[in-house]
Amino acid sequence: MRIAVSATAPGLDADVDPRFGRCQYFIIVDPQSMEFETLENSSAMAAGGAGISTAQMIAGKGVEFVLTGNCGPNAYQTLSAAGIQVITGVSGRIKDAVEAYNTGRLQPSTQPNVGSHSGMGRGMGMGMGRGMGMGRGMGPGIIPQAAPQAMSPEEEIEALKSQTQMMAQQLSEIQRRIAELGKES
């Protein structure tokens, strides 16, 4: 089995990119052996349709799961149609995200967790600022925005559950980093 993880840089030590369609790289990894390949996302700078074209590219790689921070409705629909399950709310290092996947701590999303075009700007909510995460993608700037259209109560519950899962993963990563820094001093 192979999974695709949106990444800020090549390699397992890179951070999970919170954007799916406009991430710089994907790490395609076998979660059991940890063998991986790096794939540059040629759609990252596309004027439009980045989510769909990125999802089509990933579907052509024979992956069964995608791990990412956020996934919009067009990309989500394209991935779902290809039989690929999407796990959103993922943050931290790639190898830690794969470990969380292996241990069952990550669950597939039932719907997109951001609205259309949410990864295009670097405005409030999607910026890659250096907040609490010290540039590790954990700062408050990546909390997913609710989709702009009105949601049913069930959809809102799912979106809030997804956001809660992402925040729990971010807290876990912060605690891990604090412990790591404590050992260094």
pLDDT surpassing 50 at residue 125: no
Residue labelled with tokens 């890659």: 128
Instruction: Tell me the whole-structure pTM to 2 decimals.
Output: 0.63
How far apart are alpha carbons 173 and 94 in whole angstroms?
Answer: 12
User: pLDDT, tens digit, for every residue of 71-98?
Assistant: 988 889 989 899 999 999 999 999 999 9
**Percent of all residues in the chain with a pLDDT value above 90, rounded to a whole number:** 42
Cα–Cα distance, 56 to 41 (Å, whole number): 11
Write the pLDDT tens digit of every residue in 137-153.
433 333 333 333 455 67
15's enclosing H/E stretch is none
The pLDDT of residue 42? 87
